[in-house]
Structures are given as C-alpha cells and as structure tokens.
Amino acid sequence: MRREPREYRTLDKDLSRVTNTERAVLHSARPLLRLGLALIFIAAASYVGTGLFTGQPAIGILAASLAVAAYLALSIGGNDVANALGPAVGAGAIGMTAGLVLVAAMEVMGAVIAGRAVTATLTEGLVGNTLGEGEATARMMLAALLAAGSWISLATWLGAPVSTTHSVVGAIAGAGMATFGLEAVNWPAMGMIAFGWIVSPLVSGLAAAGLMALLRVLVLDREDRVAAARTWMPVVVGLASAMLAGVAELAWHGTGLAANAVLALACGALGWAYTRRRIDRQSRGEAGGRLAMKQLLAVPLIAAALVMGFAHGANDTSNVAAPLTIILDSLSAGGDDALRGRLVLLLGGLGIALGILLFGRRLVHMVGSRITRLNASRALCVSLATAATVLGASLLGLPLSTTHVAVGGVFGVGFYREWRDRRLAASQPPLPAEERRRRHLVRRSYMRMILGAWLITVPAAAVLAAALVWIGGF
C-alpha cells in the first residue's frame, strides 16, 4: 500500500486541529449568539410598540415597559418549556430541536387564539378594580415586570422550574402594596388564584396516575401490546386533537355548540386515522413483542406535547399580557382596544416562543428525566393530564401555574409506580430499610428542591418588586 508523503500527513493533522478549533469556537460562541438574538428581540419589541402607541406623553415609560415585557416573555419561555416538552424528550419520543420548534409554534397559537380569558382575570380581577390611571400605576407595573423577569431568569440559571405565574402575581402584589398600600391588591381574587395553585397539581397528579393505571390495563399488561396499542392509541390522539380543535374554536370565535362539535369531531377523526396508519406501518413485518412501546406511543406523545404547548400559551401568556395591558390602560394609550389586546398577546406569544428556542434546553432535562424516570407510557400520561388541566383552567379564565400542574403530573406517575411496586412486593419477604430507600422512584431531593422553590417564589418576587419601587424610584 502506497504511503502518503510526510508533508501531506502533517497537513492533514494541521487541518484537523484547525477544524477542532473552529468547532470549539462555535460552541463557545453559542451563548453569546443566543443572548444577542434575545437583545435584538427586546429592542425590536420596544421600537415597534412605541411606534404603534404614539401620541401620549409617557413614551419613555412605555418603551421601557415593552422592553421589560419582552424580557419577561423570553424568561418564561426558557423556564416553562419543560412543562410541555420535558416528558416527550425524557421518553425519547422526539428530538430536542424539533420539539422546541413545534412547541414554540403552538405557544404563539395558544397565546393569540385563547389567551384573552386568563389575561382578563389577572387584569381586571387581581388589580383592575383598585388601581387608577396615570404614571404611578405604570411605574408600579414596570417594577413588577422587571422583578418577575429577574426572578425567573435566576431560577432558570439555577435549574429550578419555578412558577412564572407565582412570580408575576407575587411581583404585582409586592409592587402594588409598595406603591398604593394594602388596598392595591384584590385579596379575594388573590385567594381564588392561590386556591387554584393548591388544587391544580393534585388534580394533575391524580389524573396522571389514573391514566397510567388505565394504560396498563388497556395496553401495557396485554399479551399482544401491538394489537392493544393499535386499538387504543389512535383513540388517544383523536381525543387530544378534538380537544385542541374544540378549545381553539371556542376561544377564537365563540361559535355555537354544533359548529364546535363538528370541528372537534373532524380533527379527532383525522388524528385517529393518521395514528392508526402510522402504527400499522410500524408494525408491518414486525413480531408483536419486538416493536418497542416508544415507537407505538411516539405520535400520541408528540400530540400531547403540542396540546400542552397550546395550553401553556393560552394560560401563561397572561403573565406578560396582563401587566402590559394595565400599563397601556393607565397611560391611556390610543388605538382600538381589541387590536391592542391582540398585539399584546402576540408580543407575549412570540417572546415565549423565542425564549423556548434560545434558552429552553436546560430545564427540559430537569422535568424530563431527573424527578422520576420517564418512559414513553409514563410521559404520555403526564402530558395528557397536564394539558387537560391547563386547558380547562384557561377556558374558565383561571391563571394556573403550568409548572405546578406539569410537575404534579410527574409526581403522580412516580408515586403511582411506587404504590404498584409495593403491592407487587407485598407477597415477598420484606426488604431492609436501606433497600426500600433505594427503591424510591420519585427522587426526594429534587422534590424538596422544587417544593422549596415554589414556597419562596411569591414572597421573593414580591419583596424584589417592592425593593425596586422603594429604591429604584419607580
């Protein structure tokens, strides 16, 4: 075999070193590129927004509010994408990049189509009846936006999936009390929202555990899993498609029951037919025991993640839209109210979507794999329970914490698995205490960290917002 001249081999090594160096430089430059794109979006939102709402004196406050609102939306997207995408990525049903793009698109749709009800609750129910017009209210809301965004960014950097809803509501309450006193907050409305925070993770956890038990009976414990999945998984996707279409139509047009039912049934039938065909194609030529459940449940998992993305956009966009709407109202910004509301929701949805794409990878791993081990079937139950809970609350105008709901579903599945293992082990000799601790399927350390983050979020955001009011001169 002819050997290459020594100078050619040396050149190849040098080129290889140059290529590795270029890759290292590109890898290290990615955080700066993401930060640069985020800054461009913030500047563009402020510039375009002030151009749309000209003709009023406090243009500086408006520009700053739009910039901080865009920053908050980016922070929410980076933190909360784990709620929608964590289970599917943790189960390996979809790749990270493709999942981020699809969920980001659904976030924008959910914000624009179904974000009005929850925004109205936060705008009119929490503070709308107690605050007046003028620059004082606008400055107070600007402090609340900045405090909430700062707290969420800190939590994202620390890898803690805190509630963005808690952050925003706590910041509004803290800034309001620092500016106008205790009467600035509608405490009965605050109590109703807090009650929803307590109940929603329990509902989601119970729903996820119930779905897990049902899935075991219908599919996982069957002798022929492929045949069982061929029967029931198209039903799951069909129901998810029908739910999404029905909610979107009801929120967007508010049409009658008949038209809404026809659209939901049509989308459900399409989802059923597509999933049935996909499973038939996957199982053709495969023995029933050889086809992995991850393949059979991939389409239902992706459908559930998309529905969850829509639900999150419908519910959590209000965390940006409500404070910004109050600022615009207090400054008497001109223009059509309906169009202004749509533009505010669009800004929030686009900011959340961009935050998902730029900063969402880290917490996806936290929710998707570190709390409890998620395979395809468990992740499906978590996603469906979370999506149903959040969509129902969005229709009622109740601002839930989607982080609460999603992590509650993950806990529900994990504790159900522990309960089932204990039942199966009841007939066996008891295990030593150390071995029982090892068999815990929900990681207690992460559970304590997340619960601690939830408990301190509202007071921390409130104190930070109050400090900005007192010290920063807002």
Nearest Cα residue to 220 out of 296, 147, 162: 296
pLDDT number for residue 22: 45
**pLDDT: is 257 or 411 the higher one?**
411
Model confidence at 11: pLDDT above 80: no
* Residue 428 banded pLDDT, cuts 50, 70, 90: low
pLDDT number for residue 204: 93
Phi-psi group of 159: left, alpha or beta (phi > 0 → left; psi -120 to 50 → alpha; rest → beta)? left
Structure tokens at 268: 């459900």
pLDDT number for residue 432: 53
pLDDT > 70: percent of the chain: 74
Distance CA 356, CA 78 (A): 5
Asked if 64 and 339 count as a contact pair (C-beta separation under 8 A), the reply is no
Say which range, 224-233, 396-405, 431-440, has the weakest mean pLDDT: 431-440
Distance CA 253, CA 316 (A): 21
* Residue 206 banded pLDDT, cuts 50, 70, 90: very high
Asked if 76 and 352 count as a contact pair (C-beta separation under 8 A), the reply is yes
**pLDDT: is 351 or 133 the higher one?**
351
CA distances from 173 to 181, 223, 449 (A): 10, 56, 25
Q: What is the DSSP letter of 335?
A: S
pLDDT number for residue 207: 94
The helix/strand count (H/E) of the chain reads as: 18, 0
Model confidence at 465: pLDDT above 60: yes
pLDDT number for residue 454: 73
pLDDT number for residue 25: 43
Asked if 300 and 104 count as a contact pair (C-beta separation under 8 A), the reply is no
pLDDT > 90: percent of the chain: 8
pTM: 0.80
**pLDDT: is 293 or 187 the higher one?**
187
Model confidence at 208: pLDDT above 90: yes
Model confidence at 201: pLDDT above 50: yes
Q: Residue 348: CB partners within 8 Å, gap ≥ 6? A: 69, 73, 111, 115, 317, 318, 319, 320, 321, 324
Model confidence at 433: pLDDT above 90: no
pLDDT number for residue 447: 66
**pLDDT: is 129 or 457 the higher one?**
457
For residues 313-320, give the mean pLDDT: 88
321-373 pLDDT, tens digit each: 888 888 887 776 555 667 778 888 899 999 998 988 888 776 665 555 554 45
Instruction: Provide the terminal-to-terminal Cα distance of the chain, rounded to the nearest Å.
Output: 78
Asked if 99 and 85 count as a contact pair (C-beta separation under 8 A), the reply is yes
pLDDT number for residue 438: 45
* Residue 175 banded pLDDT, cuts 50, 70, 90: confident
Mean pLDDT of the chain, nearest integer:
77
Residue 233's Cβ-count burial label (10 Å; 0-12, 13-18, 19+) is buried
Helix (H, G, I), strand (E, B) or coil at 418: helix
67-124 pLDDT, tens digit each: 989 988 888 887 666 666 766 776 677 788 888 888 889 889 888 888 888 888 787 7
Model confidence at 40: pLDDT above 90: yes
**Cα Rg for the chain, rounded, in angstroms?**
25
* Residue 435 banded pLDDT, cuts 50, 70, 90: very low
Model confidence at 7: pLDDT above 60: no
Model confidence at 127: pLDDT above 70: no
Which range has the top average pLDDT, 36-50, 175-189, 353-367? Answer: 36-50
For residues 433-457, give the mean pLDDT: 63
